[in-house]
Amino acid sequence: MRKDITEAMDEKTAGTGDQLSKDETITAVLEINGYEREGRRSRRGSRLGRRLSAPDFANDIERVQYISEVTEEGEKRFNRLTWKQLVVILIVCAVALGTLSMPLVFAMLGMIGGTILTVGMGCLAIYTSYLIGRVKLRYPQVIHYSDIGRLLLPGRAGEILTKIMQVIFVFFVMLGVAAHFLTGKQAFTTIVGDTSICQLVWSAVTLVLLFVCSLPPSFADMSILGYVDFVSIMAAVLITLVAAGIKAHKLDWETGWSAYPPEGLTFSLGMIAASNVLFAYAFSICQFSFMQEMAVPTDFPKSITVLGSVMITIYTLTGALGYAFIGPNVQGPALLSAGDTVSRVAFGVALPVIFISGAILVTTIGRFIMDHAYKNSIVRYVNTARGWATWISIIIVTLLVAWIVAEAIPVFSSLLSITASLFNSGFTLYLPAIMWFVLLREGGCFSSRKNIALTVLNGFIILCGLVLLGAGTWASVDDIVATYRNGKEMSRPFSCK
C-alpha cells in the first residue's frame, strides 16, 4: 500500500520529534513509496526503482514538488525575525497597560523602595532572559518554554514534566488573553462614559478586535503591529504624566509623596508590590517561541540589552513621576487618577495596546498548537487553504475559550492575581537559574572564580523566585480574602455590570 506524504514524514521522524527539511521530505516520500533518489540503485535493480512514466510516480513527483515549494516558502516566512523586531515583540509582550500600575507600586513602597525594586527586578529579569537565549542556542530543538522539561529531567520524568509544563504554559498564556477582555471592557466603558450599556457588548467588541489583530501567523508580521503598540502606550503614558504634572504644579508640587514607605505597610502589601513588578517583567514565557523565528538567533544579546535598557527606564520613570505628580492616592492604572476627560483620552490612545498585546499572546498559543499538532505537515506554515483554515479555527477557539473564562468565573481577577504569583516566579526567575545549573554550567560550581560568582548569583535568583512563589501567592490570597471581607460584591457570570 502506498503511503501519503504525511505518513511518510511521520515514519521518517518516528521517535525523534524532529522536523524534516525540504530535501528530507522529498527523500521520505520517494523512498518509502518504493522509489530511490537519482544516482542510487533500488532493490529492483533499475535506476529509479520504477518507471518514470508510472502514473503513481508522476503524481508523487508533482505532490513532492508542491510540498517542497510550500515548505521552502514557509521556512523563509518563519525565519525572518530580526533582533530589532525581537525587541519590539518582547516589549509589546511585557510593556502594556501594566506600565501605568507602576506609580501604585511606588506609592506602596515609597520613592526609594520603588526605585530599588524596579531596577533590581529588571536586572534579574534581563539576566534570566539572557540565560533563556543561551539555552535556545545550545538546544535549538526547544521551540516553546514547555519543551525544556525533557532537558531538565531524564527519561520518563522529563516527558512527564514537559506535559505538565505544556498545560501550565497554555493555561497561563490563556489567562493573559482573558485579562485583555476585562481591560477592553474597562477601556470602552471609560471612553464612552455610559455605564448603562451592557458590559457584554464591549466584551464582544473586544473579541472581534482581538481576532482581527491575531490573524498574522508569524511574529515577524506581528512586529509591524508592535510598533503601533509601543507608540500607543508611550503616548498614553505621556498624556497621563503631563496631565498629572499640570495638577501637581497647581498644588505647588505638594502632592504628599514620600521617599519612604507609608506607615502601616504590611508584609502582605509589600509582597503584592513585588509580585506586580515581577509581572511587569514577565516576557520570558514567550521568548523561546519568539526566538524560534529569528533569522540570526545569535543576535539575541543585542535584543536583550536594548530591551533591558528600555523597560527599566520606562518603568522607573513612569512609577517615580506618576507617584510624585499624583501622590499616595494614585490608582492602578494611573490614568484613572488623571481626571475624567484625560482618562477618556488616554484610554482611547491606549486602545491599540489592549488588542495588539493580547493578540501576540493569542498568536503564541496558536504557534504552540501548530508546532505540536502539525510539526511534520505543511499546515504549520499557514500558506495553504488548509493551513489558513486551521489557523483561523485555532484563533477563534482560543479567543472563545478565553472569553468564556473571563466572563464565566466570578473571581477571575483574583484568580489571575494568584496564578501570576504562582507561575511568574518560575518562568521569569527560578527556572532560568535552574537551567544554568543543569544545561549551561561548564565545570563544577566552585571550580573557578567565574563559576563561584555565577553559582552565587543563580542561587540567589532561585531563592528570590521561591520566596515570591510562596510569600507572593500567600499575599495575593490574603489580599483577596480581605477585599471580599470588606464588602466587595462578587460579580455574576456573563453579567452586564
CATH of domain 82-485: 1.10.4160.10
Q: Determine the longest span between alpha carbons in the chain, in angstroms.
A: 95
Query: pLDDT at position 36, please?
Result: 40
The C-alpha atoms of residue 248 and residue 326 are separated, in whole angstroms, by 7
Over residues 348-383, the pLDDT tens digits come to: 998 998 899 999 999 999 999 999 999 888 899 999
CB of 92 closer than 8 Å to CB of 229: yes
Q: Where does the chain hold its CATH 1.10.4160.10 domain(s)?
A: 82-485
Over residues 193-223, the pLDDT tens digits come to: 877 788 889 999 999 999 999 999 999 999 9
pTM: 0.85
| Residue 271 cell numbers, joined | 509582597
Query: pLDDT at position 51, please?
Result: 41
The C-alpha atoms of residue 87 and residue 346 are separated, in whole angstroms, by 24
| Residue 233 cell numbers, joined | 502606550
Query: pLDDT at position 412, please?
Result: 62
Average pLDDT over residues 290-305: 95
- Residues in CB range of 29: below 8 A, 6 or more apart: 3, 5, 8, 9, 60, 63, 64, 67
- Of 1-15, 54-68, 362-376, the range with the highest mean pLDDT is 362-376
Average pLDDT over residues 296-315: 94
| Residue 321 cell numbers, joined | 513621576
List the helix and strand counts (H, then E) for the chain. 18, 0
Q: Contacts for 153-162 with beta carbons within 8 Å, 24 or more apart?
A: none
Helix (H, G, I), strand (E, B) or coil at 326: helix
- Residues in CB range of 174: below 8 A, 6 or more apart: 365, 398, 401, 402, 405
Query: pLDDT at position 40, please?
Result: 38
